[in-house]
Chains A and B, each alone.
Chain A
Amino acid sequence: MGVVDNLLLGLETALTFQNLIYCLIGVTVGMVVGVLPGIGHLTAISLLLPLTFYAPVTAGLVMLAGIYYGAQYGGSIASIMINMPGTASSAVICLDGYPLTRQGRAGTALIITTIASFVGSCIAISLLIMLSPPLARAALSFHSADYFSMMALGLVAAGTLIQGSKFIGAASVTVGLLLGIVGTDVSSGAMRFTFGAPELFDGISIVVIAMAFFGVTEVMTSIGLARDHALNAKVTLRSMMPSRADLAESRNPILRGSMVGSAVGILPGAGGGSMAAFMAYAVEKRISKKPDSFGNGAIPGISAPEAANNAAAQSAFIPTLTLGIPGDAIMALILGALLVHGITPGPQVIADSPELFWGLAVSFLVGNFILLILNIPLMGVWVRLLKIPPTYLFPAISLFIAVGVYSVANISFDVFLVAGLGLAAYVMVAFGFEPAPLLLGYVLGPLIEENFRRALLISRGDFMVFIDRPISAAFLVMSVLLVIWVALGARKNPDPVKES
């Protein structure tokens, strides 16, 4: 099938009434949680994960993805208006977005970031459409040894490319792998870490893990804290008209930011949006003729990172959908949703379920158009969301956690489990454990063990199989190089916030 046929199939799928509705729900929820500080897109996707089990797989994924990229649009609104990032990846937007608000140019900043978001997304979606089929075809020749090594690289990247202690990063991944092992062992039928509880024979549900690490910890961290900001600026439609000069000043930064973001988004374990935004900001500052203007309301300082974090949000789907390797925690949740629906992530997805892949890709375009259309007239509504007091927010999230977890299997055991794991997660996160690599380990754990065992079964226990196959060897060499690079650079421990 040619590209045109594929896109037509995608359009047909994305434009069904059901998928349009799920897309609309997804991007709207994404906008709302993106705007609200204190509730991130990871929390939102975790909370809505159980709902997608009741929907067909394409519709469910369209909604989850919509929350993700919708939150990237919304996140910058809080950054610009109240100097508090709505999502982690829009933290860098605060640097120049809030100064613009204080200069009375909030409207301009909001419209520039909306345009940057849209362009960045569209460029990355084009890459997704062009790169995915050949990448998947190449990956179809992978053997289990290659898969093992590729996932190992993903996990090494996830554990090491974090702020803070690399030992704790590696420990986070390992704890995740162990959580993924709980339940019946596929090859021997043995029960592992079930402590005799029949509720654990099928393993711990991804909903329980996600709610414990991204829901309960968020509530415990933020409940009862007053938000110390004032919303002063007013945003009118007229103030949102960008001047010709602003647009001209934005064009190249948006294109560069889209490139940086697309590239970073594809890398596994690179942490998606935040790193892309910081890198795009650093690039703009370095090549700018007026580096002093950065931090005082420079237009390129908001347009490049905003294009980058949206591009990264879209291009992150490339390794997830073609190789089955999630780049960050959100992609791990998407993979988890696929697994729950009985679809094994990997290169065969595009060939076996073309309507899923192409429908999803086209729904990204549809979703971005909806966001662009929703955003401009409704900007005032989004801005007013910032006035919702947190007193209402967190008990509501608690209820969503409890009911959502209960709904997965209709057993209260899971709610006890989320309470216990959530408490443990809160303590572990306070000591520097990272929930995102942990979730990656949890999702990849069963897949990586299966491929590891199968590779050794075929080679009759000869570990050389991982080195003899060139693809596998290349991934392992990359993992080792990454560890060496991180070990050498660990002393410096760069902090992108302070650097820029």
Chain B
Amino acid sequence: MQIGMRKDIGAGLIALAIGIGVCWISLGYRIGTPARMGPGLVPLALGIVLILCGIGAAISGLRSSENARPMRARPMVMVTLSLVVFALTIERLGFVPASALLIVLSGLSESPPKWIALAVLCVVLIPAAYFLFIVLLGIPAPAFAWKF
């Protein structure tokens, strides 16, 4: 599945949305005066810049017909999911199961998935990463765990 959309208009809308959100939040902070600036002044100014850039990009985008680079839905979902699952499992199941889940889930971005390659990766990469990060660098994560 691929999503097609006008590039500059879409980018302008993204900038506009972020800008409005930033301004909204910044108004909750103290703004202050130029001599004694509050924490809200700089973010508010940047939010306004972002809104102006967004409007500028969207208007100049009306003249161009260039589409955004097609986004690939399957890798978007699977890579994000693989990272989220890793974050959820690293402390609960341990380093080895979390890494294996991550490799397999991100490998599912490919269709059909190359199961043999993924198995090879799990067998070779996980011990190597375990040695580098946990043994050598001393990251306090267990190899296996069962904590819920």
| Residues of A in contact with B (beta carbons under 8 Å apart) | 51, 54, 165, 167-168, 170-171, 174-175, 177-178, 181, 185, 187-188, 190, 192-193, 216, 219-221, 223-224, 389, 391-392, 394-396, 398-403, 406-407, 410, 412-413, 415-416, 418-420, 422-423, 426-433, 449, 452-453, 456-457, 460-461, 463
Contact = CB atoms under 8 A, between A and B. Distances in A.
Contacts of B53: 167-168, 170-171, 174
Contact of B11 (A192, A398, A433, A463): A433
Contact of A170 (B49, B83, B84): B49
Interface of B: 5, 7-8, 10-12, 14-15, 18, 22, 25, 29-30, 33-39, 42-43, 46-47, 49-50, 53-54, 56-57, 60-61, 68-72, 74-76, 79-80, 82-84, 86-88, 90-91, 98-99, 102-103, 106-107, 109-111, 114, 117-118, 120-121, 125-126, 129, 133, 137, 139-141
A395 B104 CA distance: 8
B50 A171 contact: yes
Nearest to B136: A54
Given A190-B39, A391-B110, A412-B87, A175 B11 contact: no
B87 A395 contact: no
Nearest to B130: A403
Nearest to A429: B69
A108 B38 CA distance: 62
Contacts of B103: 395-396, 398-399
A181 B74 CA distance: 33
Q: Which of B36, B53, B99 has the most CB of A within 10 A?
A: B53
Contacts of B35: 456-457, 460-461
Contacts of A419: 80, 83-84, 87
B14 to A, nearest CB: 6
Q: Which of A412, A431, A453, A461 has the most CB of B within 10 A?
A: A431
Those 9 A-B pairs whose CB atoms lie nearest each other, nearest first? A461-B35, A415-B87, A224-B110, A419-B83, A167-B57, A190-B39, A171-B53, A167-B56, A461-B34
A188 B38 contact: yes
A392 B117 contact: yes
Given A171-B50, A422-B80, A223 B34 contact: no
Given A419-B84, A426-B71, A223 B12 contact: no
B83 A171 contact: no
Given A167-B53, A219-B75, A220-B72, A401 B83 contact: yes
Contact of B43 (A171, A192, A457): A192
A391 B114 contact: yes
Contact of B129 (A403, A415, A432): A403
A422 B83 contact: yes
B83 A415 contact: yes
B118 A395 contact: yes
Contacts of A452: 42
A407 B76 contact: no
Contact of A399 (B75, B117, B129): B129
Contacts of B8: 165, 167-168, 432
A178 B34 contact: no
Contacts of A178: 18, 22, 43, 46-47, 50
7 contacts: A167-B54, A171-B54, A174-B53, A224-B109, A399-B103, A452-B42, A456-B37
Contacts, number: 206
B83 A402 contact: yes
B14 A223 contact: no
Q: Which of B5, B75, B91 has the most CB of A within 10 A?
A: B75
Contacts of B71: 426-427, 430
Contacts of B133: 403, 407
Given A391-B107, A403-B139, 17 more contacts: A167-B8, A167-B11, A167-B56, A181-B42, A187-B39, A188-B30, A193-B43, A220-B79, A220-B109, A221-B75, A398-B102, A399-B126, A401-B83, A402-B99, A402-B102, A430-B70, A461-B33
Nearest to B33: A461
A395 B84 contact: no
A403 B130 CA distance: 10
A415 B49 contact: no
Contacts of B76: 220, 423, 426
A175 B110 contact: no
Contact of B121 (A185, A221, A392): A392
Contacts of A395: 102-103, 106-107, 118, 121, 125
A165 B88 CA distance: 39
Contact of A219 (B12, B54, B79, B117): B79
A389 B117 contact: yes
A493 to B, nearest CB: 10
Contacts of B57: 165, 167-168, 171
A149 to B, nearest CB: 16
B106 A398 contact: yes
A406 B39 contact: no
B11 A165 contact: yes
Contacts of B102: 395, 398-399, 402
Contact of B15 (A171, A392, A429): A171
A171 B125 CA distance: 39
Q: Which of A401, A420, A433 has the most CB of B within 10 A?
A: A401
B45 to A, nearest CB: 10
Given A426-B76, A431-B68, A224 B129 contact: no
A461 B36 CA distance: 7
A392 B116 CA distance: 10
B80 to A, nearest CB: 5
Contacts of A187: 37, 39
B22 A192 contact: no
Given A403-B133, A430-B71, A432-B68, A185 B90 contact: no
